[in-house]
Structure 1
Amino acid sequence: MNARDLSFVHVFRPAERPGSPPVLLLHGTGGDETDLLPLGAAAAPGAALLSPRGQVLERGAPRFFRRLAEGVFDEEDVRRRAGDLARFVAEARAAYGIGAPVALGYSNGANIAAATLLLHPEALAGAALLRPLAVLGDPPRARLDGRPVLNLSGVADPIAPPDSVTALEAALTASGAQVTRETLFASHGLTRDDLVSAQAWFVGRVAAG
């Protein structure tokens, strides 16, 4: 498949360091395919970067799935869009000759990454979830077989309540993921501590295998 024929508008940057797992960058609400490129390059130096743009528009702002209100999600659309993202990953792997990527997602991007892990575990080799929460009311029991997951929450985050973050962690752990959870002194926005933690996790848990 030619890269121009892929189902998502995206950016792809080839790997500069052989052996580094590719990274799937998933932006937050209102972002695009360029938003997380600097973060991805800094967190996983030398890795191939695959960064799609969300296909849902909320008052003109790109997202990866619909929501009905703040914190109220269209679960049917979540499931549909997770399938779309999994198919895009398969297309990109064929087009660019890369392995299964590790997702690095922020906010809405973290949520679609977690949903894709649970609904389509074959699509991702792991995920770094920055400010995620649970968006599946009845998550499936997937077979994640020890895949690494980083969960970075903000202690003062008004959008991702602790009980929802804990519910997501429980669903991932029940499916066999190896979850590392850190609560940072932060709100919903990203801080330098997110980069430091993500870098350490990519080196210690992903690159080391």
Structure 2
Amino acid sequence: MKYTIQQGKKKHPVLILLHGTGGDETSLLEVGNLIDSDATKIGIRGNVLENGYPRFFKRLTEGVFDEVDLAEQSKQLHETINELIREHSLLDEEIVLVGYSNGANIAIRLLLDYPDSYQKGILFHPMYPVDIKETKSLEKTAIFASFGKADPIVSMSESYRVSDIFSSRKASMTEVWSVSHQLTYEEIESASQWLVKQK
């Protein structure tokens, strides 16, 4: 998988930056800098193309995930992250998944499937219309999520579903609400303040 890395300071988090549809490995670098300028930032590009736009997994239709591809792509993404952490000697640093839209959606899968590897997530405008059979506790997991009250892509019911996925599994869940699907400075600032409190 294509990636870019900005090395940060020791004792600061490693932000794994996962873009939205049509983005790439550089799309969230500035967002990462606003969240924590001293963190190591690793931006990763999704492997899937939809009408020429990079994504992290396929859709069957708008709002309907290809769950087989989601499983395959999330496993490959997990393996890529592990390789990058080892390659850049970041084993002692704390990983924080930072995803926007499609990137936030695959971050949810990583948080659910690999809770020993990922225990902090910043999810901007996620949705997860997937029947989840896994019920393991996420009591060590802390989530920041932002949603839009008039988001044309993610309905309020889908937003509440994401919140319930984590809170019902005993994760610490922090929510902020904006207006639409667009990522705002206020959301990023709230995420930054949240991350400081997690240290």
1:204 aligns with 2:191: no
- Please say if residues 148 and 156 of structure 2, whose CA atoms lie closer than 8 Å, have aligned partners that are also in contact: no
Percent identity (aligned): 34
Structure 1 counterpart of 2:88: 96
Alignment partner of 1:133: what SS?
coil
Taking the aligned partners of 2:56 and 2:129, their CA distance within structure 1 comes to 12
Shift of 1:122: 2.7
Structure 2 counterpart of 1:192: 185
* Structure 2 stretches lacking a partner, 5+ long: none
Alignment partner of 2:72: what SS?
helix
Taking the aligned partners of 1:139 and 1:189, their CA distance within structure 2 comes to 31
Structure 2 counterpart of 1:39: 31
RMSD across aligned positions (CA): 1.4
> 1:193 is matched by which residue type in structure 2?
E
Question: Which structure 1 residue ranges, 4+ long, deviate > 3 Å from structure 2?
Answer: none
1:109 aligns with 2:103: yes
Alignment partner of 2:192: what SS?
helix
Shift of 1:100: 4.5
Report the count of equivalent residues: 197
Taking the aligned partners of 1:139 and 1:47, their CA distance within structure 2 comes to 34
Correspondence for 1:166 among 160, 176, 179? 160
Structure 1 counterpart of 2:58: 66
Alignment partner of 1:102: what SS?
strand
> 2:112 is matched by which residue type in structure 1?
L
Taking the aligned partners of 2:129 and 2:184, their CA distance within structure 1 comes to 24
Alignment partner of 1:123: what SS?
coil
* Structure 1 stretches lacking a partner, 5+ long: 1-7
Structure 2 counterpart of 1:3: none
Structure-1-length-normalised TM-score: 0.89
Shift of 1:11: 0.5
- Please say if residues 119 and 140 of structure 2, whose CA atoms lie closer than 8 Å, have aligned partners that are also in contact: no
- Please say if residues 86 and 123 of structure 1, whose CA atoms lie closer than 8 Å, have aligned partners that are also in contact: no
Correspondence for 1:129 among 100, 123, 126? 123
Taking the aligned partners of 2:137 and 2:111, their CA distance within structure 1 comes to 9
Taking the aligned partners of 1:145 and 1:54, their CA distance within structure 2 comes to 29
Structure-2-length-normalised TM-score: 0.93
> 1:141 is matched by which residue type in structure 2?
T
